[in-house]
Amino acid sequence: MGFLFKNIEEILASISISITILIVILNVFLRYGFGFVVPWSEELAVICFIWSVYLGISSCYKHKLHMGVDVIVTFFPEKAKIPFQMVISCFLLTINLLLAYLSYDYMMLSNKVTPVMGMSYLTINGVLFLCFSLMSFHTINFILRDFKQLNRQQSDTV
């Protein structure tokens, strides 16, 4: 259970992109091999692709793989780097929580359905809320990790 929870973004993103690839390959094969297409395949491929992109964003955020500008942090003394990172993390937490709230509102306003599958846009827009909620959770983990590191750093100097 720990592995599943720890890697939920990667697992769901892998499933989503796999479904996208399989559906597109199947649709190309059916179009050129038999002259017909599965009507709902394009919609499902787009939905799965959207989910894989946003879950990938959250996964990259969790592993701190997004680009950052840390040139300012390099000028700080060693003792000031962690508190500065905590301030940045608090700012990012505020942004992520705000975006999670706004995406929840957006998701709840989704009353349209897809033309072919009749799937509610709630399932498509729900990934926004999930992504920003997960990013908020990861930011809290970053703050807690920095706080523990700061406590260790202060106890080492005493």
Q: What residue spans define the domains of the chain?
A: 2-157
**Given this model, what pLDDT does residue 1 score?**
67
pLDDT confidence bin for 67, thresholds 50/70/90: confident
Give the angle 9-10-16 at the CA atoms, nearest 5°.
90
Determine what percent of the chain is predicted with pLDDT higher than 90.
79
| Tens-digit pLDDT profile for residues 122-151 | 999 999 999 999 999 999 999 999 999 999
**Given this model, what pLDDT does residue 158 score?**
64
Whether the per-residue pLDDT at 157 is higher than 80: the answer is no
Mean pLDDT of the chain: 93
Angle, helix 41-62 to helix 121-157, in steps of 10 degrees: 10
Distance from CA of residue 143 to its chain's centroid? 18
Residue 90's contacts (CB-CB under 8 Å, 6 or more residues apart) are 143
